């Protein structure tokens, strides 16, 4: 069990920079989600449900930068969505 705990901690450290916060709003409603950078060119995987009613979002990276983003794909059956931001060299 101790070995598994160490492995999970190492994984968390390696992947923490890929985590993002996603915010969007429409018609007076505000939506917030988390996501994971899946491609260095700005593709982010997130849950579809929190962003079901929005197309434009704002994405906050762990390093403090923020980017406008667009929901470019949704898979409601699996509750997944893809958001695109205009950024390069993401991890």
Closest residue by Cα to residue 35 from 49, 23, 19, 50 = 19
In this prediction, residue 1 carries a pLDDT of 67
Under DSSP, the state recorded for 89 is: S
Summarised one tens digit per residue, pLDDT across range 47-81 is 999 998 899 999 999 999 999 999 999 999 999 99
Local structure of 90: helix, strand or coil? coil
- Tell me the pTM: 0.85
Q: What pLDDT was estimated at residue 62?
A: 93
Tell me the percentage of the chain whose pLDDT exceeds 90. 69
Tell me which residue of 39, 21, 52, 49 sits closest to 86, measured CA to CA.
Answer: 39
Q: Would you give the distance in Å from CA 62 to the centre of its chain?
A: 11
Q: Name the β-bridge partners of 80.
A: 47, 75
């Amino acid at each position: 069990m101790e070995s598994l705990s160490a492995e999970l901690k190492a994984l968390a450290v390696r992947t923490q920079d890929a985590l993002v916060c996603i915010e969007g709003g429409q018609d007076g409603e505000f939506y917030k989600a988390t996501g994971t950078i899946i491609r260095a060119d700005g593709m982010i995987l997130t849950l579809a449900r929190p962003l079901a009613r929005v197309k434009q979002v704002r994405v906050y990276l762990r390093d403090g930068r923020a980017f406008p983003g667009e929901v470019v794909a949704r898979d409601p059956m699996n509750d997944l969505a893809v958001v695109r931001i205009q950024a390069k060299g993401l991890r």
